[in-house]
Structure formats: structure tokens, C-alpha cells
Amino acid sequence: MQRRALGILLGMLALGPASTARPDAYRPPPRQTAVEEVTVTARRRAEDIQDTPISITALTEKDLAERGLSRLDDIARYTPNLQFEQAAGSQNSARVQIRGVGTNDPISTRDAGVGVYIDDVYVARAQGLLLPLLDIERVEVLRGPQGTLYGRNTIGGAVKVVTRKPSDELEGAAFVRLGNFDALETQGVLNLPLVPGRVAARVSLATALRDGFSENEQIDQETDDRQLLAGRAQLRVLASEQLELLFAAEQSRAHTAGRGGKCRFRPDAVAARDPNGVVAAASNFLGADDACNASRMLDPHEFLSPVNGHIKNDTWGLTGTATFETSAFTAKSISAWRRQESGGAYDISFSPVPIGQARAKMGQQDQVSQELQLTGLALDSRLVWTSGLYFFYEKTTPSRTDVLVVFDLCRNAPVFCSLSFNSNLGTRVAASAAYGQATYSLSDRLRLTAGLRRSLEAKQFQQFSFKFADAALNPSPNPADTLQIKLTDRFRAWTPHLNASFDLTPNAMLFATYSKGFKSGGFNGRPAANSPETLEPFSQERLHSFELGVKTTWPEHALRANATLFHGDYKDIQQTILSSDIRSGAFAARVENAAEATLRGAEIELEALPYEGLALHAGIGLIDAAYRDLEFSRPVNDPITGAPLDNSEVDFFNTPTFTGTFGASYTLPALERIGSLSLQAFWRHQTRVTFGPTSSTLEQGAYGLLSLRTALALPDGRTELALWVENALDRRYLNDGVNFEDGFASSLAFYGAPRTFGLEIRRRF
């Protein structure tokens, strides 16, 4: 199938009407002399980004192509205070944070802290969010709580993907990218006007193949690979002058070997909790330490594990949008269904000795959403209003997960030989909301906005699990360690939004915003029969955010400069706590509303064209995220000293105090028979982060990544050739980790991609 798709795309590259212009009649397109005007729909209506009084970054189709972005998480390299990366252990799951707010656990019982929307349809699960940027019009990143117009689990912000819609022109495009690690990516787009002015269709297809850049030396398996097939089909029908219907269907299939990681063992943590040395002398802990040391001596992208990892993720989606316009109002209905199936096998220790592995059978998640929206103008167009009703239903079909944790204690301390868990869990969520927002122009320069949303959610969680002390995965369970539960709870929130914007000049706007966001509560997806506190539900998070910002466009549109200051009061933060007794094998993971924090910082974005053909870019994110209070129902102590942790010693997960992107692109004067050559360089820098709030083994120091691209636009005006390289300096850096130090005296570290480079061809016809 992949070869057939490549053949079709290569054929498309050669097709298309030949240019009828003679070479001496070629007129190259003018070089850029002004910053691009960008239209966004962050407030559910079309506005220029400079007229939208919120902190927002928008990457257009042109930006995505010129910077060589092929997957949704790539946008983090160009967006201040956004961390968008692969989740630990999976090639297909995403972890998204904005201004330090997000969720680092993709389990189905936890909701995201940043909402991801595809054509205004909320995508509930982190699995499958590493989407190909296939036929995208733009991506908008909305920072800060979006509690009124978006509402559900957008406490940190929203990432909004807007796809290209069918048009009345016959057109198409093809894209092929070749790279190291035998990488091959293809995309094809075809737009068909079926009935001129009435009916049009658009079809898009993407494939991605790449060998893994990590190597499991123990079983000779490549990991961190890519195998993707994705497609989208859309049909647009203009039923009347007032009614437009848009239907979309999409599917993706991503099957990979998963991620490769490093184990980082801490024997001092074992000794601290086992002063007599009984367990340490008798167990595989010391053997694990030696094994992790052996793995650590290898290249960061090489590791040792007996587990043959594989991850599968298949998604389907259907969306129907009806838009009815009159002179007084616009009514819109957005109906959507999405299904996701995921499963696989992966290591939870990344040690040459079989300490832990998980095997998840294919589970299914279904979601249905319906939104009714009404927008309009009133009072001689001085009042712009939006209102709506929203309904969402999600069901996760119980899926079986086997977790095998082996501590070979049989040699000298016959406590048990191994510990295994089997878990079947399912969830159901029903959410509804009503919202309204209005902007009133007090004068030609001053505007006030007020909005309010009421959200109601009902959740149900059920699980059957058991633990047994045997190396096999299918013995009879121990009745004392069997857990069968069914829990329900309800959550509700009012989330207001207040905003004032004032035009200092025709090209400069000052704005101030207060908004409240919430993230729904839920249930611990990893309860333990011998730990009653793990059965307790956790409540919703709340964030009160204040912003002060300025947006400016300078004369001749040669400079755009935007800046925002923010302050957030973050309460009832949901924290996951791992704990265990290494001598008894008792293991517990629990989620508690254990913390309060203050978030403050700034975003600065600059785009300048000092002279024709030269564009300069800068995006800076600053954040100071500090816990004010951190209390758990059971004490959380330092794994070595045993002393209670001080708030100042606990870092926010993966929250650098500084992120900065600095770039320059230059387009040379076009040559008549050669074309137009452009050169680009971008540097992304971030300061120290930690992936385990109390772990010294999961720290990543400051580092920077360099991206380079050279593109040649041929004289036909339809073809572009480009050479590109990412991580040009071949930096080795952590981009995720899991802290098991308090549970198993170990942690897992995952590295980002090494240097990648290649050639790409784009063709429009």
C-alpha cells in the first residue's frame, strides 16, 4: 500500500498542465516586503490576529511548509511557552502543556489540561494526537484558560487545527520527503469542483515510513520508528444561498515499535528504605543497578531490554457541519463521532533483567459531540455576540492490561518470586454546557467583552483487577488482592471571561483579560486493593488567570511585535503519587488534589522585514511556576533521606523558565531560468527542566536545537525543491521521563530525535 501511494504521488509530481509561458516571459513572484496578515477564528468568528485580544500564535499553511513541519508536535518549536511532545513509552501519544499546565499521564481516566480541536471538534484522548499536518490551513495556539467558548478541559489553553476546505477550483498538490533512517513521507491533495458554485470535494492522503533512531541491542529491535497511513475526504454542498453543508471523514493508522528508553536506578533509595540490607542483598535490585549501568554506557539512543515493544493506534472520525447565514445572525451545528483503538506491549523498566513490562490488549474509545452555535450583530454592529450549547459523550471499552513486575527475592528472602497485575478498566463521560460571550464597542477605540459558561459532567469508572505472586500471567488470582469497583461522580463549574481592549493607535492595541478555566475531576485508573486511599475520586482543577498584553503592527507592515504578561492562581492541582514497599511488593498509584501554585511570566513574539527578502522571527516564553502549597493525604518524602519534601524542592513537570525561538530567512533575487532560492535557519533554546518533580535522575539541562532549510522555487511557479536538517548539531537531550524512584528505586528516561536530514519536493497543479 505504501509503495502504491508513493507511485501515485510521484505520478502527480509529473502531471499538471505544462506552463505555456516562454522562459523569457517568466516573471518571478515579488519577494516578501511586509509581514503576512493572518485571519484566525480563536473567538469563533473570523478576525485578524492583531485584532484578537488574547495571547495567540498562529502558523499558516505557508509557515508550516517553509519551516518543514510535518507533524502537529513540531509546532512547539515555534510557539512560546508550549511543550508538545511524545508521551513516555508511546510513539503515538502526546503530552501537551501551555504555561506549565497540562497532564503528563495519558490514561483514559485523566483528562487533558490543554484541549486539542480539529475543525472545532474536541479530541478527548492523548493517544493519536501526534497527527500529520495534512492539508492544513493553519494551526492556532490559544494560551491561557479558554473557559467560555471552548470550555471543556482547556484550563491551560487550546490547540486548534483548521483544515483546508473544498473550493470551486480544480487543483491539487503532491509532496515527497526523503531522509536518513530510510525516511519516506508523502502527501497528496486533490480538490474537485463537482457542481460549479454548488458542490465540491477534497481528498487528502499522507503516509510516513521511517526506521527507528533507537536500538534495543538485547533483541536487535529498532524503536522510535514511524509507520503511518492517514487520509481525509470532505464534501461541501451549498444547498442554498444561506445554507452550507460540510461533511468530513478521516482515518489514520499508526503502528510502531514504540519508544526506546534508559533505566536509571538508585540503589541508595533501596538502602534508605531497607537499612538491614535484607532485600537489597537478596533481590535483583543490585543486579538491576548493574544492568542499568551497562545500558547507561551505551549511546543515548541504545538500550537493553528483553521486551519486544509494539504500539498500535487506529482512529476514525466523521464530522458534519451545517452553517445557516442571515443578515441578522449565523447558526451553526457541528456534529462529530470519533473512534480510537489502541494497544500494544512496552517495557516499564528498560532494564536487561525482566523487572517490568505491560501488555495492553486493543481497547476502544468512542466519543460523540454536538454543538449548536449562534452568532450575530446588534446595536448597529456595536455588539458582537456568540452563544451556544454543547454536548459530549465518551465511552472507553474495558481493555485488559497485564503488568508483570519481577523482583527475584526467592534466593535469600522468600517473600515472593514475582508480582503480576491484571487490570480491566472502562469509563463513561457525559458532559454538557451552555455558554455566551459578547463584545460591545463603547467607542471606536474601546471594546469590552464578557462571557460565561456553565459546565456539567457525570463520570463513571469501573475496574476489575487482581494481583498474583507468580511469574506466569494467567494463574488464579489471589482473592485478597482482587479489586472490583464501580464509581460515579459529578463535576460542575462556572467559567467566566472578562476582557477590555483599547486601540492606542490604528496599529497598536492594548488589552487586559481575566478568565477562569477548569479541568474535570475523575478517578484513579490504577487503584490497589490494599490501598483504600487510591479508590478516592479527585476533584477538578481551577485556574484564575490575568493577562495584560499589547499587539502592534508598525508602518508599512514591516514589523509585528506582540507581548503578553500573565499571572495565574492555580488551585486543586491533580498530582499522581507513586509509592511501594519493596519488601512486601505493595504498590500504589494515587491521584490527589494536593497542590496550589502561582504561575507568572510573559510571551513576546516579533516578526520583522528590515529589507526586501529578509525576514526575522523571534518567539520568547518566560515562566515562573512555583508551588505555594503541596500536601498529600500520605506523606511524600525524599527517597533517600526520608525527610518530608519542601515545596521549594519540587519542580513543575517539564516547565522551562525560558523558551526562545530565533530565526532568519532570506530569499535571493530570482534568476529567470533557475528560480528563486531561499535560506532559513531557526534556533530553539530552552532552560533546565525535570521530568520527575523530586528526581535527580530525570533532569535535562539547558540546550538548543538548530534547524536549517534551503529551498529552490522553480520558474514554473508550481514546483519547489528543498534540503533540510533538524537538530543540525546532533544534540542528545531528554524530552520525557517517568519517576518510579519512590516505587521501584528507578526512573525511565526518553531521548528526543538525533540529527535528521533529507530532501523534499512539493508540486502544485
CA dihedral over 279, 282, 283, 284, signed as positive or negative = positive
Taking only the tens place, the pLDDT of each residue in 469-517 is 544 444 455 555 677 788 899 999 999 999 999 999 999 999 999 999 9
How far apart CA 732 and CA 660 sit, in angstroms, is 18
- 10 Å CB burial of residue 515 (0-12, 13-18, 19+) is buried
- 10 Å CB burial of residue 271 (0-12, 13-18, 19+) is middle
18 pLDDT more than 50: no
Q: How confident is residue 314, by pLDDT bands cut at 50, 70 and 90?
A: very high
Angle made by CA atoms 487, 492, 495, in degrees to the nearest 5: 150
How far apart CA 165 and CA 362 sit, in angstroms, is 33
Contact by Cβ (8 Å): 577, 741? no
When pLDDT is averaged across residues 162-168 and rounded to a whole number, the result is 95
How far apart CA 236 and CA 197 sit, in angstroms, is 10
Closest CA to 429 of 144, 112, 30, 652: 112
How far apart CA 175 and CA 171 sit, in angstroms, is 14
pLDDT of residue 1: 45
Q: Cβ–Cβ contacts within 10 Å for residue 480, how many?
A: 9
- 10 Å CB burial of residue 272 (0-12, 13-18, 19+) is middle
pLDDT of residue 403: 60
Closest CA to 391 of 460, 461, 459, 455: 455
Contact by Cβ (8 Å): 370, 282? no
In our burial notation (b when 16+ CB lie closer than 10 A, e otherwise), range 333-359 reads ebbbbbebbbbbbbbbbbbbbbbbbbb
How far apart CA 477 and CA 468 sit, in angstroms, is 6
When pLDDT is averaged across residues 172-185 and rounded to a whole number, the result is 96
Structural domains of the chain, count: 1
733 pLDDT more than 80: yes
Contact by Cβ (8 Å): 671, 649? no
Q: How confident is residue 584, by pLDDT bands cut at 50, 70 and 90?
A: very low
pLDDT of residue 642: 54
When pLDDT is averaged across residues 42-66 and rounded to a whole number, the result is 93
DSSP structural state of residue 294: H
Judged by phi (left if over 0) then psi (alpha if -120 to 50, else beta), residue 157 lies in left
Top-confidence residue, 75 or 633: 75
Taking only the tens place, the pLDDT of each residue in 694-717 is 666 788 999 999 999 999 999 888
Q: How confident is residue 765, by pLDDT bands cut at 50, 70 and 90?
A: confident
* Residues above pLDDT 70, as percent of the chain: 81
Question: Average pLDDT over the chain, rounded to whole?
Answer: 84
Q: Where are the alpha helices (DSSP H) in 604-740?
A: none
In our burial notation (b when 16+ CB lie closer than 10 A, e otherwise), range 732-742 reads ebbbbbbbbbb
**What range does the domain containing 40 cover?**
2-764
When pLDDT is averaged across residues 377-394 and rounded to a whole number, the result is 95
pLDDT of residue 8: 46
pLDDT of residue 15: 46
Contact by Cβ (8 Å): 360, 344? yes
- What number of residues does the chain have? 765
DSSP code string of 161-218: EEEPPP-SS-EEEEEEEEETTTEEEEEEEEEEEEETTTEEEEEEEEEEEE--SEEETT
First to last CA, the chain: 24
Helix (H) or strand (E) holding 663: strand 658-667
456 pLDDT more than 80: yes
pLDDT of residue 635: 52
Judged by phi (left if over 0) then psi (alpha if -120 to 50, else beta), residue 294 lies in alpha
Q: How confident is residue 283, by pLDDT bands cut at 50, 70 and 90?
A: very low
Strands 356-378 and 329-347: antiparallel
pLDDT of residue 343: 84
Q: How confident is residue 30, by pLDDT bands cut at 50, 70 and 90?
A: low
Identify the three-state secondary structure at position 62. helix
pLDDT of residue 463: 80
97 pLDDT more than 90: yes
Contact by Cβ (8 Å): 553, 50? yes
CATH number at residue 85: 2.40.170.20
- CA distances to 263, 308, 352 from 296, rounded to whole Å, are 8, 20, 11
Only one residue has cell 528498560, namely 350
